[in-house]
Structure 1
Amino acid sequence: MTGAPADTRAHIDAAIHVDTATRTLSFAGRSYLCAIGKGGACAAEDKREGDGCTPLGTWPVRGVMLRPVRVGMTHRPLIPWRWTRADDGWSDGVDDPAYNRPVSLPHPFSHERLQRDDAAYDIIIVLGHNDAPPVPGMGSAIFWHIWVPGDDGTPKATEGCIAIAREDMDIIFPNLRPDMTMCIE
């Protein structure tokens, strides 16, 4: 079997497509500028904690976490969702039994805080990268979130996540369905 049929099928099945070479995210027939990891993109099997790489592959959309007060909703999301709380974190500690899982703060291992000072995590789409089960050191907290603009107004690279403009996220996230995947190439 050659790689062509699998590649074609990924394009057909993936509702959300990210082209890491052009930094574009495609959804429902529209393309949006996106940011990827500061380390570029890498094969999922080569992904390591802290390398700044965005893992290539097709990842299920698990759900969305929304920051209260900063995100208004006229309709509930179609995918599983919840509000973030001040004590929400996500473990990125390779020696943590809760690696690549949500945790409550304070937490004794290395972690990310989900309510940040900037707006990046006001809307967090959780992707199913390295989560079934998580393998310590193979990458954690690979999210799709809002980008942080650099001094020149262009999006800053992420630590490995996919990020888009807030106005684009506001259009897309209410239309996500539980069966969707993100194909990162």
Structure 2
Amino acid sequence: MRLVVAPDGRARFGSWEMRCAIGRGGVVADKHEGDGATPAGIVHPVAVLYRSGRVIPPATALPLTPIRPGDGWCDAPGDPAYNGPVRHPYRAGAEHLWRADHLYDLVVVTDHNRDPAIPGAGSAVFLHLARPGYAPTEGCIAFARADLRRLVSRLTPETGIEVLPG
């Protein structure tokens, strides 16, 4: 089964439809670091991260890892760890995964621009929790807590996450 994400902020997984937020830059075919856009195409989930103490570890077929203080994700295109996990303090640009808000309490890491990562082609394209009112993301796809938790329980490494072009 495939998770299909439309540019209008709707997603479908089989017969189940839900609301989501996409990047403030819309959906693009050619993703670039910092453009705020969600990349069109098909990616796959590779792991689930969760914030212990805020989220009960979810049931999932994907590798499951708790987020710890100091965990980060490198977004510096010239760094060897680009688009991968790092520990803070980190010498190059890296997003903090341990956040005061709740956006990263539950995260699905995708294979967008991984293995190998192409410098500048976008990093940290995750599925994560939505801001109030489904405000746009920096390029990720965001869902309500209940919807993301339900998705996490159904995703496998073979699940295609298809973002339709704008």
Do they fold alike, i.e. is TM over 0.5? yes
Question: What is residue 8 of structure 1 aligned with on the other side?
Answer: none
Distance in 2 of aligned mates of 1:60 and 1:170: 17
* Residue of structure 2 aligned with 1:111, choices 75, 94, 98: 94
User: Residue 11 of structure 2 corresponds to which residue in structure 1?
Assistant: 25
Deviation of the 1:148 alpha carbon = 1.0
Equivalent in the alignment of 2:2: 15
Larger Rg: 1
Structure 2 unmatched ranges of 5 or more: none
1:118–1:148 Cα contact (<8 Å) kept: no
AA aligned opposite 2:6: D
CA distances 1:136-183 after superposition (whole Å, capped 9, x unpaired): 11100000000111xxxx111000000011121122211212221201
TM-score (norm 1): 0.85
| Matching residue of 1:6 | none
Pairing of 1:104-183 with structure 2 (within 5 A) = 104-149=87-132, 154-183=133-162
CA deviations over 1:12-60 (Å, ceiling 9, x no partner): xx5211011x2111113111111000001100xx211000010000001
Task: Give every structure 1 segment of 4 or more consecutive aligned residues whose post-TM-superposition deviation is greater than 6 Å.
Answer: none
* Secondary structure of 1:35's aligned partner: coil
In structure 1, stretches of 5+ residues that fail to align are 1-13
**Whole-angstrom distance in 2 between the partners of 1:93 and 1:139:** 10
The residue type paired with residue 129 of structure 2 is: I
**2: CA distance between counterparts of 1:178 and 1:82?**
15
Rounded to whole Å, the distance in 1 between the matches of 2:124 and 2:38 is: 11
Identity of aligned residues (%): 40
SS of the counterpart of 1:177? coil
Coordinate RMSD, CA, aligned: 1.2
Using the alignment, how far apart are the partners of 2:41 and 2:116 within structure 1?
16
The answer to whether residue 84 in structure 2 is matched with residue 101 in structure 1 is yes
- Answer yes or no: is 1:54 the counterpart of 2:54: no
Question: 1:42-98 CA distances to partner (integer Å, 9 max, x unpaired)?
Answer: 00xx2110000100000011111011011114x632111111111110000112111
Asked whether the 8 Å contact 1:47–1:55 carries over to 2, the reply is: yes
